[in-house]
Structure formats: C-alpha cells, structure tokens
Amino acid sequence: MAALNRHANPVLLLLLCSTLFSLVTPHEFRTDGTVIELDESSFDSAIASFDRILVDFYAPWCGHCKRLSPELDSAAPVLAALKEPVFIAKLNADKYRKLASKYEIDGFPTLKLFVHGVPEDYTGPRKAELLTNHIRKLASPNVSVLESDASVKDFVKGAGSDLPIFIGFGMEENALATLGGQYKKKAWFGLVKDFSEEMMVLYDFNKFPALVSLYPKYNEQSVFYGPFQEAFLEDFIKQNLLPLTVPIQYETLKLLRDDKRKIVLVIVEDETEDKSVNLLKILRSAATANRDFVFGFIGLKQWGEFAETFDAAKGSDLPKILVWDGDEEYYVVDGLERLQEEDQESQVRRFLEGYREGKTIKMMVKGPSFKSFMNSIMGVGLVLVIIVMVSVMVAIFYLAGESGDGTPTRPARPENEPGYKPISDSSEGAEEGYQGGNKED
C-alpha cells in the first residue's frame, strides 16, 4: 500500500481510522440485567455474543407489547444473575422489517430464545416470575452433569418446586440424553458422577445405579433401579411427571391430555375437609401400587360443573369413585359406586380388583366431555378474539368507505417494503390493533 501523504488532512485521517475501527470492533452490550435495545447493525453481534439471549420482537404501537415490557424489565436482572446467565433484548420489528421477516415474525409481541445462536419460539407465561422460571428451564442443559453432593443440592434448589426432578446416580452418561431432551419442558434432569452415602440416605436409595424422582411441590419421591433400557426409563419418567394423586383443575387437565393411562377419579364434596384429606392419603398409597392408572380427585365445592358431568351431586352419593377414559366414557364397579366412611382402604382395593375383573358398568359423561371441556377453555378466549376482530373490521370498513369529508381514508401505515409479507397494520392510537395470529398473554 502506498504511503499516505504526510500533508494529508488530519481530520480526514481521524475519520478514516474511526471508520476502520468500527468495522472490526464488536458491539459492546450491557450485562447488568438491563434490557438491551437492538437494531439491524447490532442484532447479529448480540446473538453471537451471548450463549443465551431472549429477544422480544415488538411494535411500539402494540398494547400487548407495552404490557409485556415491564415484565421483561423485572425478569432481566434475575436471569442475568444466573450461574449460566440469560440476557433479554428487544427489537422494533415494525421498524426493522427485514429482520422480522427473516425470523418469520407474524405478530406482536413474539419472543424467541436464542441458545448458541439457534432460535426457539417462547410460548410460555409472560408474567415476570413465571417467565423467569420457564426461561431458566429452557436455557438449561437437557441433562445437567453434577460433580458432587454440593452440586446436587444446588441443582435441586435451583430447579424449584413446580416441575418434577429426575437425578441419576451411578448411571451411564448417555442413559438420559435422549429422554432429557424429549421431556425437557416438563422436568429437570441431572446425572451425578460422584456422591457420598449422605446422598443415598437423603434420597432413600440403597444401591446404584439408580434414578431418583422428586416432586417437591407434592413432597413425593420414588426410585427406579432398572432395567435402564430407554423404554423402561421412559415408562418410569412418564409415570412420575404427574403427582400420585392429581388435583383436577384446568391446568392438570391439559397435562392429562398427554398421558394415555386411564384415570381413577374420586369425587368428594370438599377437597379441604379432614375426611377428604384422609381419603387422599389412601388414594396415594393405592397409586403407588397401581402405576398403570392415574389417580385424580376433585371437590364438588371446588369445581362442581365438572364433577356433575359424572352425575355426581351433593349428598349421599359422595365420595364417588370411577374410572374415566379421559374423554366420553367412564366406568363404575357394580356395587362400589360410593365409598362408605368405614374402611375406605379396603373399598378402594376392591374397586380396583372389580375393575380389572370387568365387573363394571359403562357410563357416558353428561354434557361436556374432556375434549369439549378443553375446547371450551380455549373457546371462550377465541370467541372474545372473534368479537373484537369483527368489531374492528366493521369499523375499518366504515371508515374506509367514508372519512369526515366524504373522501376515502388513507392507509394508517406506509406501504410494505418489496417482497415483505405484512406483519400487522395499525395506527399509533390503536393499541389493540392486533391480528388473529398475533401472540398475546
């Protein structure tokens, strides 16, 4: 390269050096837990700089985005302080449409978690505390390798109480690899390389290899000693993804959709009564010995509408016990439809024996089945969305037909860039200008 003229303009030289420096210097991002604002020039650098980064693709006019923003502000410092930190960033996807198109953003807000540069849609809860827990799970390894007793305790503490935890002691490193990835969103998985007898006492296993299942929320624990082929391991994991006795609620019904076992359902008048609590202890014992069933319970007081679909009514026919297929049909055992107050343990045992022997009466649920109940849960929200959309469309057609002076109104937003599929159109004032396919809480 020819030497620069020593009489060259020093201001020009300074500008040239500054330009070259900016081309080779990576962006510097704050790591103090502040939500990072990205643009086209910094986006790729941020994805490459952080092992784990959650990106909020938003639009300034979107009402849902505005409500999500303070939740992300609250979650950001917590996630940034983790041992394996997750940083939060945001991108104005309405302004930087080429980037939005690249990542197939079709509604606002859309959250994507990038782990080592690979994006994954985030569709979990959006309140700060729940979002933090969910992101920690998604950003964690499929199976955490634990080196000592202390790391086991830290792992269990960090996992929290809401999801089941599976810890392998003395197992082969690849034994849980596939299943850890398959069930990552539903449970925590750890594999311990070195542990003491204290761990064996704490988690109540007397030999190894062993796979310990913990469900802190329900204070439940069980141990699997093999065989450690994938099919047997998966059976054990699936059986322990739910507590021994499942409280029937909207959320647990969603979990039951993925479980193919039939449900032994007990309907009581009030879940909180002492006699109901004692019955649940009996059911928990029965569930331990009959893992081919799911054992569930529901109180007429807690959710009478659902209980009544099984022809359960307040009074002498409770507690009622039946076997439900999770959909339209359920079965009662002839002569054991109701549990008497005395010796309920033997009654539950005889009920299960009678069911297995085929001494049953087939019944159909009254009114909504499991599927229609689930559809109704989602349907309420869907109906509201449809009503809002129809109202907005009517208003748009009215305004489009005639403005205040009788002339057609102009589009609220500029034309899209060539080759770009519209994300959503809305004026600055239309906070809820939100298309049907958009993401929302």
Of 138, 133, 106, 141, whose CA–CA distance to 120 is shortest?
Answer: 138
If one counts every other C-beta atom within 10 angstroms of the C-beta of residue 356, the result is: 13
Residue 323 pairs with which residues in a beta bridge?
Answer: 264, 331
Annotated catalytic residues are 62, 65
Query: Structure tokens of 130?
Result: 């729940």
If one counts every other C-beta atom within 10 angstroms of the C-beta of residue 69, the result is: 15
Dihedral sign of CA atoms 194, 197, 200, 201 in order:
negative
Tens digit of each residue's pLDDT, the chain (441 residues): 444 444 455 545 544 444 443 433 355 788 888 999 999 999 999 999 999 999 999 999 999 999 999 999 999 999 999 888 999 999 999 999 999 999 998 889 999 999 999 998 888 888 998 899 888 888 888 999 999 999 999 999 888 888 899 999 999 888 899 999 999 888 999 999 889 999 999 999 999 999 999 999 889 999 999 899 999 999 999 989 999 999 988 878 877 887 889 999 999 999 999 999 999 999 999 999 998 999 999 999 989 888 889 988 776 689 999 999 988 899 999 989 899 988 999 999 999 999 999 999 999 998 654 555 555 544 444 444 444 454 545 444 444 444 444 433 333 343 343 333 444 433 333 333 333 334 454
Distance CA 434, CA 323 (A): 44
Residue type, 4: L
Of 400, 419, 397, whose CA–CA distance to 409 is shortest?
Answer: 400
